[in-house]
């Protein structure tokens, strides 16, 4: 990732595709990491993920994403010891009816991928801190995304997510592989 100097302050440039509308219908592969890649979410033994209490909260919050956003669907998903992989699909507006303003309301916009992920992280953090206050849990401030452009790519990413726990020993997110 390339950094730049903005108004005398160091900041990291966005990893989002410039000019791309992340609220438009499509499928997106996201990876969301715990801060400092701490192993909050559980353990992997023999290729199987066993969730901790915090990992269970993360799993439950992911499952509830469609309950909080109209025209959003989640697809394949896995909680790993220190990160989450999942597919979020922004669907076309139901019956062609996109959110619009009424006489007494502001126009509503479709949520962007960043809004969906930010909401997920916020809800998880609140629930985790309510039940595991001593943990000091936090997320990495950013997330990685990949726009899924076709069915073959979708199929490969779904398979990658399914087998990810079996590949933990060689995963670059595994702290034992950080050198």
User: Where are the alpha helices (H) located in 18-165, listed in sequence order?
Assistant: 53-63, 65-68, 113-131, 151-163
* pTM for this prediction: 0.83
- Is residue 59 one of the residues assigned to a domain? yes
pLDDT at residue 150 is higher than 70: yes
CATH number for 132 = 3.30.70.1290
- Is residue 176 one of the residues assigned to a domain? no
- Is residue 76 one of the residues assigned to a domain? yes
Residue 30: how many other CB atoms lie within 10 Å: 18
- Is residue 61 one of the residues assigned to a domain? yes
- Is residue 53 one of the residues assigned to a domain? yes
Mean pLDDT computed over 40-53: 96
- Is residue 161 one of the residues assigned to a domain? yes
Total structural domains in the chain? 1
Full DSSP string of 95-137: GG------TTSPPP-PPPHHHHHHHHHHHHHHHHHHH-GGG--
Q: Which helix (H) or strand (E) holds 144?
A: strand 144-148
Q: How confident is the model at residue 105 (pLDDT cuts 50, 70, 90)?
A: low
Structural domain that includes position 101: 20-168
135 burial type by CB count under 10 A (0-12 exposed, 13-18 middle, 19+ buried): middle
Contact present, 74 and 66 (Cβ < 8 Å): yes
Q: Token pair for residue 123?
A: 């809800």
Contact present, 12 and 3 (Cβ < 8 Å): yes
- Is residue 112 one of the residues assigned to a domain? yes
- Is residue 25 one of the residues assigned to a domain? yes
Q: How confident is the model at residue 76 (pLDDT cuts 50, 70, 90)?
A: very high
Higher-pLDDT residue of 7, 55:
55
């Amino acid at each position: 990732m390339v950094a730049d100097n903005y108004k005398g302050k160091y900041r990291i440039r966005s990893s989002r595709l410039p000019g791309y509308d992340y609220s438009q219908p499509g499928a997106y592969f996201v990876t969301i990491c715990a801060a400092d890649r701490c192993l909050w979410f559980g353990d992997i033994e023999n290729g199987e993920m066993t969730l901790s209490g915090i990992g269970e909260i993360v799993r439950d919050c992911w499952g509830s994403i469609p309950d909080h956003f109209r025209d959003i669907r989640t697809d394949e998903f896995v909680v790993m010891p220190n990160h989450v992989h999942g597919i979020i699909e922004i669907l076309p507006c139901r019956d062609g009816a996109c959110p619009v303003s009424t006489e007494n309301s502001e126009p509503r916009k479709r949520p962007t991928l960043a809004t969906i992920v930010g909401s997920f992280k916020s809800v998880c953090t609140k629930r985790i801190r309510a039940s595991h206050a001593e943990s000091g849990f936090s997320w990495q401030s950013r997330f990685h995304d990949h726009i899924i452009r076709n069915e073959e790519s979708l199929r490969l990413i779904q398979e990658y997510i399914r087998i990810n726990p079996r590949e933990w020993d060689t995963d670059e997110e595994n702290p034992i592989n950080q050198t």
